[in-house]
């Protein structure tokens, strides 16, 4: 997921993420795994995600970090 930079800090990303997490719970997920851009690490950490290792390099220039959160609680 992504939010245009001009829309950051308006709660849009939080609303989207909460909706996705709710849907994952509805489908029986126990955890969510994602690849986050380095610029979004703080956002995901704020929402309970933990870095678990390196993620893929997108377009040979955009570094990502693999993150995870348990959602079965």
Q: How far apart are alpha carbons 56 and 66 in whole angstroms?
A: 8
Q: What is the pLDDT of residues 12-56, one digit of tens each?
A: 999 999 999 999 999 999 999 999 998 899 999 999 999 999 888
Q: How far apart are alpha carbons 61 and 30 in whole angstroms?
A: 32
Residue 1 pLDDT level (bands cut at 50, 70, 90) = confident
pLDDT of 73 reads 64
pLDDT of 47 reads 96
* pLDDT for 4 beyond 70: yes
């Amino acid at each position: 997921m992504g939010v245009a930079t001009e829309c950051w800090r308006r709660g849009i990303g939080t609303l989207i993420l909460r909706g996705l997490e709710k849907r994952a719970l509805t489908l029986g997920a126990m955890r969510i795994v994602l690849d986050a851009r380095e610029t979004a690490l703080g956002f995901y950490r704020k929402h309970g995600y933990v870095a678990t290792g390196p993620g893929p390099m997108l377009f040979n220039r955009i570094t990502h970090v693999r993150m995870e959160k348990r959602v079965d609680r």
